[in-house]
Structure 1
Amino acid sequence: MKGSRLQWAALMASSLPGIAALAALLFTWVSVEQSGKQLQIAERGQVTGRFNAAVGNLASPAVDIRLGGLYGLERLMRDSPHDQPTVVTLLTAYVREHTHGQVGGSADARPATDVQAAMTVLANRDPKHDGSGDFDLRNVRLRHLGYMGMWDRVRQRVIGINFPEADFSAADLSDADLGHAQLAGVVMTGTALRESTLNGTELADADLTGADLARSHLVRADLRRVQAAGAHFDETDLTRADIEDARLERASLVRASLPGAILRGADLRQADLRDADFTEADLTGADLTGAKNLSTAGFDGAILNGTRGRPS
């Protein structure tokens, strides 16, 4: 019996270092977990502090301080993608409030420095973190908006801004440079885009109902399935644009340039085609029924297979 007790005591003695090590490991794990939670709390507090400071700067009467607030929000989006939807909503509201109702004035007037900066910050964000961010830019006045894209040295091509499904209803984007932009599904009903640059821009499934794109440039633009009833494309350059299955009924294409454009299945009923140039365009299955001034349009080398209301 005495021997058994001695053996048990010896076993316990030999186990103590392991038990102590296990206890130390558990203590370390609990400490690390608590430290991690405290660190997360501290980081969230820091993010909140940075956000509040940036927002406070936006209310400053000094443009340089407002710019600091805008770039502070840009850094915050990069450091804390979780907060990007809130920042996007805030920045679009900032642009609306600083441009809404600005009518008249000089035709050469450009967006204020801070407004251009806010749009550039939005353009350079990572769209995959947008979440429920509200991209509401209705009624904004961004005449002569400067180019916001960038050159991708790796892919050796221009990367345009990315505002998918944004709402630009009734906005003024005349003479804006939106070349190579990703604007799929945007809402631009009644939007002024006169003399704007949209070369290579993706506008598939966009709503351009009643929009004014007179004298704008849409070379090789993607306009597949756009809703553009009643829109104005007078003297617009649509060279080699993809306008397949677009709804262009009652649209005005007076003296529009469409050489090599793809208009397969496009709806051009009652559209005004006076002096429009469809040289070598593909109008397979397009509907020209009731089109105005059809006899003055040029169709040299155009593909007209299955085109309804086709020119004689």
Structure 2
Amino acid sequence: MTAAVVAVVTAGLLWLLLAWSGEPNAPVRIDAVKTAFGIGAGIGGVFALWLATRHQRTLELQLAETTRMAGVTERDLEERRVTELYTKAVEQLGNDKAPVRFGGLYALERLGQDNPKQRQTIVNVLCAYLRMPFQGPAAGLRGSAAPEKVDYDESEIQVRLAAQELLKTHLSHGEPGYWPGMSVDLQRATLVDFRLSGCTLEAADFSRARFVGAVHIRGTTFARQAGFFGSVFTAPANFDRTAFEEGAFFSYARFGGDVRFTRTRSGGQFLFSHTVFEAEADFEGGRHEEIDLSEAEFGATTPGAVPATDGV
């Protein structure tokens, strides 16, 4: 409609212009009118094309905005769903019934499998659970006879063993469920029959942790400096072939059973100052940039107890 009006107005103006231009010949005026209307129609067509282009552009912008808003809404809904699942799982971990706590553990695991951005948060929650105060057994559970008197919560220890196993599953490099780039904070945790062999961790802190039962951390890689300051190992511990890329702190730790650091390597400070080895300690085949065993106490003959420093 607007284009037609423009065409008519333009033609009318041209006609008036030609009509009053002093031309006496009527046929000439008729030709002028025809020309004017032709020019007006052309201008109207151009204007109509411009309007159509503008309308199309407006529709495209509206569609893009609608798509963007739909994407934002979908993300908001997904984030809300993840938050609700996470909150429910954490609440389950605080339940006084062990089966419900088991459910919370595996709900968190499923959430991490489906949402990689949530994995470190979920690892943090598992570590926080293991750091909760717990009166563990006096000895490990695997390969030992059942104690005559149970002085700990049997159901709780099973939940904790499951949490430890989930950590191992998702820290095991090369396995289908591996979560790369994870860090663990298990300071002051009570860990029972702890296994972390074949794992790769970004960072790890076990300072003042209590390891009950045998410890297996063989062939593991710690990408950053690992902390075992003041940790207590009540049974044999095996660190064979473990790599401490930026070194480790075992200062003031206590090893109640045999400990093997055979074929380990460290790229930074490997500190055992004031560490107590109550049984045999074996460092044979290790390669360390800098090792410190100053004022360490050895309670048994230890082959390779004081290894030479080999630049890595």
TM-score by length of 1: 0.69
C-alpha distance in 2, partners of 1:190/1:238? 19
Aligned counterpart, 1:220 = 263
Q: Is the 8 A contact 2:123 2:182 kept in 1?
A: no
Aligned counterpart, 2:230 = 190
**Deviation of the 1:9 alpha carbon:** 0.9
**Deviation of the 1:227 alpha carbon:** 1.5
Aligned counterpart, 2:243 = 202
Q: Deviations over 1:224-246 (max 9, x none)?
A: 52111121344123221224421
Aligned partner of residue 159 in structure 2, secondary structure: helix
The structure number with the bigger radius of gyration is: 2
Aligned length, in residue pairs: 248
Structure 2: which amino acid aligns with 1:177? H
Once the two structures are superposed, the pairs formed by residues 290-309 of structure 1 within 5 Å of their partners are none
1:58 matched to 2:93? The reply is yes
Structure 2: which amino acid aligns with 1:121? L
Distance 1:101 1:54, change over 3 A: closer
The structure with more helix, counted as a fraction of residues: 2
Q: From 258, 266, 269, give the equivalent of 2:304.
A: 258
Percent sequence identity is 20
C-alpha distance in 2, partners of 1:106/1:171? 11
Aligned partner of residue 140 in structure 2, secondary structure: coil
Distance 1:168 1:57, change over 3 A: same
Aligned counterpart, 2:185 = 136
1:235 matched to 2:280? The reply is yes
Aligned counterpart, 1:115 = 160
Distance 1:17 1:39, change over 3 A: same
Aligned counterpart, 2:290 = 245
TM-score by length of 2: 0.69
Aligned counterpart, 1:295 = none
Unaligned segments of structure 1, at least 5 residues = 150-158, 267-312
The structure with more strand, counted as a fraction of residues: 2
Structure 1 residue runs of 4+, over 6 Å off?
Answer: none
**Deviation of the 1:251 alpha carbon:** 1.4
Distance 1:172 1:35, change over 3 A: same
C-alpha distance in 1, partners of 2:193/2:163? 15
Q: Deviations over 1:99-120 (max 9, x none)?
A: x3525x4423468222122223
Q: From 37, 51, 54, give the equivalent of 1:19.
A: 54
